[in-house]
Amino acid sequence: MAASYDEQYTDSLIEWRELGGKYKAAHILNVCRGRAFHKVLECGAGEGSILKYLDQSGAFDELFALEISASGLDQIQRRKLPRLREARQFDGYAIPYADKYFDLACCAHVLEHVEHPRLLLRELKRVSRYQVFEVPLDYSIAVDHQVGHFLAYGHINIYTPALFKFLLKSEGFGILGEKYSHTAPEATRYSWYRNLNLKPTFRRELMLQLDPLRQFLRRVRHGQAWYQEFGFSAYTCLAEGVGELRIFDAA
């Protein structure tokens, strides 16, 4: 798995990744609002696009980065971020810091790529007092017919909000705050017109303009509980690791 990511991060996609990083960082800051975190780790930092915006926000005093990919680590170090104290490569599981070394650990769009997510969750809980997680919400009824599509993005785990919260809670995390989000129109436009090389058309722009109405009608048709589980594109939460996995105990 680690070898698959060695050359993942190149200059060719940096603009697209930074666009995504802007919104992911905004979600992290949103669920952390009202709390002070000084020493912050981003685990699975990619090429540093989220770190860039966290650094610019000034919300955290010291930033640290862990990344499995040598190419990603190189991109991070080239950014020369003022608040970044250290960027290190790791094996995807063992985090080379002492217990509770960090006030906060962030793990955004990482766990869907991890072969053994519970092992990484336990390490994040060990080294940090609080955690922020964000995962894409890839589930659909036909997801088993889209295996190739998701593997092409490196997604080997599929989540809904409830399934992800079950994973966290079963590992002893308490959820303190959460945010459900849709893909931003800016990101959709970039994907259509730059990544997929589609031509801008009146129909596509109209679809974007009408999307809030479409989402409202879906919520009305299916109900709030269904919409919260299947209507969004990403789920973000602030958590606190307060327990551990315990099976065969009384509920």
Residue 221, domain member (yes or no): no
Q: What is the pTM of this model?
A: 0.94
Q: What is the distance between the alpha carbons of residues 130 and 107, in angstroms, rounded to a whole number?
A: 11
Residues spanned by the domain of 151: 2-182+232-241
Q: Region 48-52: what's the mean pLDDT?
A: 97
Whether 90 contacts 117, CB under 8 Å: no
Whether 105 contacts 123, CB under 8 Å: no
131 DSSP β-pair partners: 105, 239
State the pLDDT at residue 249: 82
Residue 98, domain member (yes or no): yes
| DSSP state for residue 189 in the 8-state scheme | H
How many structural domains are present in the chain? 1
Residue 226, domain member (yes or no): no
CA distances, 147 to each of 138, 144, 157, 196, 217 (Å): 11, 6, 10, 20, 29
Residue 198, domain member (yes or no): no
Q: What is the distance between the alpha carbons of residues 137 and 156, in angstroms, rounded to a whole number?
A: 13
Residue 131, domain member (yes or no): yes
191-226 residue pLDDT tens: 999 999 999 999 999 999 999 999 999 999 999 999
State the pLDDT at residue 250: 60
Burial of 161 by CB count in 10 Å (0-12 exposed, 13-18 middle, 19+ buried)? buried
Residue type present at position 245? L
What is the Cα Rg of the chain in Å?
A: 18
Residue 246, domain member (yes or no): no
Residue 146, domain member (yes or no): yes
CA distances, 199 to each of 26, 185, 205 (Å): 29, 16, 11
Domain containing 46 — which CATH number?
3.40.50.150
State the pLDDT at residue 9: 72
Helix 161-170 / helix 117-127 crossing angle, nearest 10 deg: 60
State the pLDDT at residue 156: 97
247 Cβ contact list (under 8 Å, min separation 6): none
Residue 191, domain member (yes or no): no
